Structure 1
């Protein structure tokens, strides 16, 4: 229910016809995530409660990312690339995720928006053009045309929420926790 609530809140904030102001949207989402995680921590004892609450919070944030990626960016513009800056993000330790490169493209678009596009791959050289999908209300970040797919964050959300659920159920039988093993 928490995942549905967070997704619904995020979807309304990103795409609703009468969405709340940005500050209220962020505060409401933070309250949903923090409140649900605190309730989980209070209901599940021990370290399972701590780690389960962390998995739950991360899964709920992934649900918000799914809503962001699924939101339609109804306007498309062909923009000139004025500058491309790359940022190399390091890997954090052995066995951690590999390093990544983020490309920040400074744009000149008809109408003056968007002015910046971030991507995980080189989209066009300086002087080239790129087609950018964006939301006229500026509630979601611009993206390369056809470049937003909700599947990756949805997979993360499902995995993290399943881990939190497994931790909550761990050690319980239908009749309650059993006696300690001797």
Structure 2
């Protein structure tokens, strides 16, 4: 009975935490209340910490580090998916007011992405925001107008209007959380849980 409850908990903790985090991330990024980004992220981290504590309480001395890593990675992917599923609510036509300033960003280590240049374009937009737009390529010369999509609450970075499309996908977070469940259940079954609900003989 205890083993069955533990297996049920191993399913409920990742899936429940993932659902709650997705709901919170989605609401905080589109709510008219305009939850500050820092507060939204802190609340997401608190929810993740609660999930980890629940996972630790479930396993006590036993459990699997791999399941914890997959749980954290899955919850992180949930946040990214929720963010990328949102679109910026406002679009404004801005004028590029000067030459783009280029900055070089090297990367290090084997398998790291290629070094990149970022181009920072000064803008003149109605209302004064955004005053600068950064992209991996030049979007135009001084005097050209561009249409920028932005979040009035500034919870997401501005993008070109043509890129203001939802790109999130639940596939990656679902796979990571499902793997966490599988590893957890296999660990519970394989370590031989006793009737008192903990690993051991």
User: For 1:164, which of 158, 167, 180 is the aligned residue?
Assistant: 180
Alignment correspondent of 1:30:
45
- In structure 2, relative to structure 1, the CA distance for the partners of 1:98 and 1:40 (3 Å cut) is farther
Native 8 Å contact 1:38 1:53 kept in 2: no
Structure with larger Rg: 2
What is aligned with 1:17? 32
Change (3 A) 1:95 1:27: closer
Query: What SS does the aligned partner of 2:110 have?
Result: coil
Q: What runs of 5+ residues in structure 2 fail to find an aligned partner? A: 1-15, 193-201
- Tell me, which stretches of 5 or more residues in structure 1 are unaligned? none
State yes or no: 1:69 paired with 2:66. no
Distance 2:115 2:63 in 1: 30
- CA RMSD in angstroms, aligned pairs only: 3.1
Query: Contact 2:86/2:166 (CA < 8 Å) preserved in 1?
Result: no
When residues 152 and 91 of structure 1 are mapped into structure 2, their CA distance, relative to the original with a 3 A threshold, is farther
Match for residue 190 of structure 2 among 173, 177, 180: 177
TM-score (norm 1): 0.74
For the Cα contact (< 8 Å) 1:37–1:54, is it kept in 2? no
| Residue in 2 that maps onto 1:128 | 144
In structure 2, how many angstroms separate the alpha carbons of the residues matched to 1:162 and 1:88? 39
Cα contact 1:79–1:108 (8 A) shared by 2? yes
Looking at structure 1, the residues matched to 113 and 175 of structure 2 have their Cα atoms a distance apart, in angstroms, of 17
- What is the aligned residue count? 176
Deviation (angstroms), 1:148: 4.2
Which of 93, 99, 103 is residue 78 of structure 1 equivalent to?
A: 93
Q: Does the CA-based 8 Å contact 1:67-1:150 persist in structure 2?
A: no
Could you give the per-residue CA deviations for residues 87-131 of structure 1, whole angstroms, max 9, x where no partner exists? 443333223344344333332211101123333443234443321
**Aligned-pair CA distance for 1:146:** 3.1
Report the secondary structure of 2:46's partner residue.
helix
